[in-house]
Amino acid sequence: MTKKIAIIGAGPGGYVAAIRAAQLEAEVILIENREVGGTCLNRGCIPTKTYFKNAQIMNSLKRANEFGIEVDGYRLDGKKLLERKNNVVNTLVTGIEKLIASYKNIEFVPGKSSIKDKNTVTVELLAGGTRDIEVDHIVIATGSRAQMTETKGVDLEGVITSDEILELDKIPETLIVVGGGVIGLEFASIYQELGSQVILLASRILKDADKEISRRLTPLLKKQGIEVYVDIRAREIVNENGKLKVVAKYKEKDEEIEVLGDKVLIASGRAPVVEGLNLDEVGILYDRKGIQVNDDFETTVEGVYAIGDVNSKGIQLAHVASSQGIYVVEKIMGLEPDIDFEYYPACVFTMTEVAQVGYTEEQLKEKGIEYKSSKFMFGANSKAQSSGDIDGFIKILASEDNKILGVHILGPHANDLIQEGTLAAVNNLDASSITKAIHAHPTLSESFFEAALGLDEKAIHTAPKRKRGTRR
């Protein structure tokens, strides 16, 4: 008997779930009240990475003299920047729409959903009218939205979220970024290269990262030209002679600072989108962190699931949402999904990239897990030297028997290199699974190889550790 599944939301969780369910011959109703692709494609991952490429080009132009190249008279056109971003997004949205349409057992319904009961979704159709859809299972994939802080003055003109900044056609002369998480740091790093003078106000820098990464990233942000204030909170925003003044107070000392800017970006995180779903009446439990789910992503109502940013797992990553979507529909269709949710890569697209998978040193210490650590600096890598990208390192954390527990990378192409660590951690591999594979020369991947060798003090391009009692 064919199962009928309603999926609310066509972001990276919802549309991927719909396609996988269709492959398994389910009858799928995919409901979306905005564009397909969700926040990631339209207002998040893809627009920011499009701007990230512009920022890289601007950075290369600024550094041209290092490579013996003289460049004069270049400038950024904000309107063309916005136009290119929109073209990239529209191309991908159109592609996904065509992909969904290619599955005859997926019905795409434009509209706003509410859950009437565990087997019925009521859709307020964008074309007008309403429609009740009877199904066997419901998957909620409504994602998240940018949230404002309660700071006084956030309602002033020029105080914006990540949604609004991506629609600007002019680069602010001075941009104040409030928030030291992934969103805040990416925009700060990108806009500094695009031509803004960025002022960053952060209570912490990447609070979920390994502390050594956070500590070493801060001076690199300053080196980039960003004015960085850490352990500080924005207390008030006021309009002062056409500029926006942010008054901020240090957390640990009785001291305030004032900074002036043209725009203030509030990057204080994202909140799950649960409004209008009728969760209370149906009996689906949720809180400010999201909809409560079990290990199979099932809500407190049997047969109703929640995936991605909207659930209480707290992992706001598009690739994790997609994997959760695949897991849920495979479970619904009677399969046993083979997806590891313990180890997943997390990436930050600052100019000096940050990537991690698995446990941080702090987490291992807290759990009382014995471990060893090895680190290799990009400055000792020939490809990094020839490219002029020598800042940062790769750190591998492993058990006493060399099983990979965590990998943390700060440096060039960190977000591509992390996958080798993810593959090792997910498959419970040890360092020898990395070191017995020949790594191409000259490549950045050799840094990963050297870090793995270092777990047993076999690294080739690192000086041996000085033994106690010896002198040089």
45-49 LR contacts (CB < 8 Å, sep 24+): 45/318, 46/88, 46/89, 46/92, 47/85, 47/88, 47/89, 47/166, 48/162, 48/166, 48/186, 48/187, 48/190, 48/349, 49/349
Other CB atoms within 10 A of residue 417 CB: 21
Instruction: Give CA separation, 442 vs 56, 449, 461, in Å.
Output: 22, 12, 13
DSSP-derived pairing of the beta strands 120-125 and 106-117 = antiparallel
Helix, strand, coil percent values for the chain (each to nearest 5): 35, 25, 40
Compute the distance between CA of residue 263 and CA of residue 201 in angstroms, rounded to an integer. 13
Joined tokens for residue 350: 């600052």
Q: Which of 413, 439, 441, 461 is catalytic?
A: 441
> Residue 60's closest CA among 389, 390, 409, 413?
389
Q: Is 413 one of the annotated active-site residues of the chain? A: no
Instruction: Give CA separation, 166 vs 91, 175, 242, 279, in Å.
Output: 17, 13, 22, 32
- Classify residue 379 by its DSSP letter: G
**Runs of H (alpha helix) within 24-77:** 38-43, 45-62
Compute the distance between CA of residue 51 and CA of residue 39 in angstroms, rounded to an integer. 16
Contact (Cβ atoms closer than 8 angstroms) between residue 139 and residue 325: yes
In single-letter form, the type of residue at position 293 comes to: V
> Residue 294's closest CA among 341, 357, 335, 363?
341
> Residue 272's closest CA among 147, 418, 374?
147
Compute the distance between CA of residue 165 and CA of residue 397 in angstroms, rounded to an integer. 38
Task: Give the bridge partners for 290, in sequence order.
Answer: 287
Compute the distance between CA of residue 41 and CA of residue 191 in angstroms, rounded to an integer. 20
Compute the distance between CA of residue 452 and CA of residue 383 in angstroms, rounded to an integer. 18
DSSP-derived pairing of the beta strands 144-146 and 270-272 = antiparallel
> Residue 179's closest CA among 205, 208, 198?
205
- Classify residue 440 by its DSSP letter: P
**Runs of H (alpha helix) within 427-465:** 432-435, 445-454
Active-site residue numbers? 441
